Structure 1
Amino acid sequence: MMSSSPAVLVLAPLGRDAKIAASILATNQIASHICDSLEETVSLLDEAQCLVVAEEALISSDRTRFAAWLENQPAWSDFPIVLLTMRGAEVDTRLAFLDRYLIVLERPFLASSLANSVRSALRARARQREVQSYIEQKQEVADRQKLLIRELHHRVKNTLANVRAMMGATVRSSGNVQDFVRDFSARLVSLADTHSMLTDDYWQTASLHRLLESELGHYETHDRPRIVLEGPNVALVADIAIPVGMAFHELASNSSKFGALSRPKGRLDVRWSVGTSGDTQVVNLAWRERDGPEVEQPKRRGFGTTLLERVVAVQCDAKVELNYHRDGLQFTMALPLRNTRLVPTY
């Protein structure tokens, strides 16, 4: 076997043709490998760029595997072959299957004739490889388009399901039409903001810090900052980012109405870190409010509680805990991270 992958295979087992051809190629800075049999040659064709072969080497061998390899080449490939024949003789009819790929060189040949023939073959192979690269790039583009279409289908279905759930929950928690319009509109805007982050990012992820910033930025006071966001950069795939973004909206909205952000001196700390659980990375996030009104356990479950305890916990496989401490709401979440989208095949 070859220690590296020379561009040219040489098969001429009789006489000194193989050594002479290899020496000529080496003089012209063309790497080659002398094969002992057609069987060895066929096993190396996938890595080679050209074959120099004596006519008698093919005639005296079983050509079945060789012919099958040539026949089964991909559409972009016409593997170049330099066939060494005897001067004045016609190419043996048993080698007619080589017509598409053949450069015929009569022996005895000039060193320059062999070098030029092989260079011509290598240039042709290089152009074929360029075509291969172009075809593969087009296929990658087509595959990505298919993925994006599936992603869009998946995203639209999930978004419509989220909107329907939000509408039902908002209706149940609203005292009048004005409350419904206000709360439902705010939730739609939050959902749209999360989708914008995902769409703007090539990899379809959203930054955890940006999700929090988007929901909490309107409540910050620049003269006396009262919101702390602290943690490493974490990118969330869409299946996680959408419900987590909605959860942050509910926490921020409730805090602005009933919690720390409803008071000028209220404070909010959101800190997170990334750890591991087995082979999975996990974001450990803590939301802590203080210096707000005294907190009481709500008398009924609202949309926010349902979202945190059911949607985030189930859809994101997260462990969440919501504690109504008298001195301020505390929310903790252990969120397993995923590197890929759960896009189904339609």
Structure 2
Amino acid sequence: MHSFAGGISDMRFIDAVEAWTLPVMVLNTELEFSFANQAYLESTRKTWAELEGRHVFDVFPEHPERVQQVHHQFRETINGSVTRLDAQPFHIMGPDGIENLHYWQATQEPIRDASGRVTHIVQYVEDVSSRVQAETQRDLIAQELNHRVKNVLSVIQSIARLSSRGQTSVEDFTNEFVSRVGAMSRAHERLYKNDFLGMSLKDLLNDELSAMSVQGEDKFSLDGPRVELSAETAKDLSMVVHELSTNAAKYGCFSVETGSLDIIWTTTDTQTEIVWMETGVGEVGPMKATGFGSKLLRVVRGIDCVRRPHSDGIEVRITLNHSA
């Protein structure tokens, strides 16, 4: 049994709460510790000798603005009201000597003597750290989802606007638009499976090329070291690869039986260079600078793309700048 500064008349109360697993402490009207059960001592990593008779704010010093709030609640309880402190943060030293942030939800009730005068405050404490952390995580996820949805809608609006230019029919526009949104969808599906932490370059290329090449993987080859792309880079690059593979399906290596595509990449700490080589197509004319793909390749942040025709097809060099 702990000793009690100031005395508490109802010893049955003390006997009862001593065995509780819920942390409980008692303050006198001077806000000095009169009692703390074993659960409270274990939760705060304190001994009774460190608490007995000491002012609560001497034991747990706080920021001035929060002292004022808590002190107000304590005074209201001394005046006879039941009060409640919601999710107050406390830094508590753990057994390993490292401070851990805990959130406590506390209820204060007055203890009265036989005449009805308030002599003490009893505080029941519940550790709600897990709940607060879950709510914080939920809020962060909601903010991130809102951010991503806005970005996706912004990209779709741009795709719709640019896809409509130069189209002579609703059907042509619809086909172009659906195809490009499909590229975004494939990238997002792969990112979702990886908790939006990114994806590998090879997976991105294989997904997009397999979707665009009706002859399957026999029409293209991929060769290079493992490169992990951030979520943002993966989404941007998927659009670039989609445009290149769409052109390959319409006019390039995927449009003719003799065509093939070889993609080779190398990487350093600062950038990854991808060489996209289409062959078996025959001589290709000058690259148009006014189409959707050309506009896209000029504005994607952190990705440089240079296209050059050669005697039997087209070569594209794509540079991913990791620092961008």
Q: Distance in 2 between matches of 1:225 and 1:190?
A: 21
User: Who is 1:325 aligned against?
Assistant: 310
Q: How many Å apart are 1:240 and its aligned residue?
A: 1.9
User: Who is 2:45 aligned against?
Assistant: 49
Q: How many Å apart are 1:221 and its aligned residue?
A: 3.6
1:298 aligns with 2:298: no
User: Who is 2:150 aligned against?
Assistant: 157
Q: Distance in 2 between matches of 1:154 and 1:99?
A: 45
User: Who is 2:319 aligned against?
Assistant: 334
Change (3 A) 1:302 1:54: closer
User: Who is 1:107 aligned against?
Assistant: none
Q: Distance in 1 between matches of 2:323 and 2:123?
A: 50
Between Structure 1 and Structure 2, the one with more helix by share is 1
The structure, 1 or 2, with the larger RCO (C-alpha pairs under 8 Å, 6+ apart) is: 1
User: Who is 1:213 aligned against?
Assistant: 206
User: Who is 1:263 aligned against?
Assistant: 256
Change (3 A) 1:169 1:326: farther
- Which amino acid is 2:227 matched to? V
Q: Give 5+ residue unaligned stretches, structure 1.
A: 1-44, 79-95, 102-127, 340-346
Q: Compute the RMSD of aligned alpha carbons.
A: 3.6
Contact kept in structure 1, 2:259 and 2:281, CA below 8 Å: yes
Q: How many Å apart are 1:202 and its aligned residue?
A: 1.7
- How many residues in Structure 1 have an aligned counterpart in Structure 2? 233
TM-score with structure 2 setting the length: 0.60
1:289 aligns with 2:269: no
Q: How many Å apart are 1:245 and its aligned residue?
A: 0.7
Q: How many Å apart are 1:338 and its aligned residue?
A: 6.9
- Which amino acid is 1:309 matched to? R
User: Who is 1:124 aligned against?
Assistant: none
Change (3 A) 1:97 1:268: farther
User: Who is 2:296 aligned against?
Assistant: 307
Aligned sequence identity (%): 26
User: Who is 1:169 aligned against?
Assistant: 162
Q: Distance in 2 between matches of 1:334 and 1:196?
A: 24
State the Cα deviation string for residues 33-57 of structure 1 (Å, max 9, x = none): xxxxxxxxxxxx9xx93437499xx
Of residues 165, 188, 208, the one that matches 1:195 is 188
State the Cα deviation string for residues 180-200 of structure 1 (Å, max 9, x = none): 222111112112222222223
State the Cα deviation string for residues 173-219 of structure 1 (Å, max 9, x = none): 32333222221111121122222222232244233222211211141
Q: How many Å apart are 1:266 and its aligned residue?
A: 1.1
- Which amino acid is 1:69 matched to? V
- Which amino acid is 2:280 matched to? D
Contact kept in structure 2, 1:263 and 1:293, CA below 8 Å: no
Contact kept in structure 2, 1:296 and 1:326, CA below 8 Å: no
Q: Secondary structure at the match of 2:281?
A: coil
Q: Secondary structure at the match of 1:149?
A: helix
Q: How many Å apart are 1:229 and its aligned residue?
A: 1.5
Q: Distance in 2 between matches of 1:137 and 1:230?
A: 47
User: Who is 2:141 aligned against?
Assistant: 148
Q: Secondary structure at the match of 2:269?
A: strand
Q: Secondary structure at the match of 2:314?
A: strand
Q: How many Å apart are 1:98 and its aligned residue?
A: 12
Q: Distance in 1 between matches of 2:258 and 2:146?
A: 45
Q: Secondary structure at the match of 1:268?
A: strand
TM-score with structure 1 setting the length: 0.57
Contact kept in structure 2, 1:67 and 1:97, CA below 8 Å: no
Contact kept in structure 2, 1:260 and 1:291, CA below 8 Å: yes
User: Who is 2:268 aligned against?
Assistant: 275
- Which amino acid is 2:307 matched to? L
Between Structure 1 and Structure 2, the one with more strand by share is 2
User: Who is 1:229 aligned against?
Assistant: 222
Contact kept in structure 1, 2:196 and 2:231, CA below 8 Å: no
Q: Distance in 1 between matches of 2:197 and 2:303?
A: 21
Contact kept in structure 1, 2:303 and 2:320, CA below 8 Å: yes
Contact kept in structure 1, 2:186 and 2:208, CA below 8 Å: no
Q: How many Å apart are 1:292 and its aligned residue?
A: 1.4
Change (3 A) 1:137 1:301: same
Q: Distance in 2 between matches of 1:54 and 1:255?
A: 77
- Which amino acid is 2:45 matched to? Q
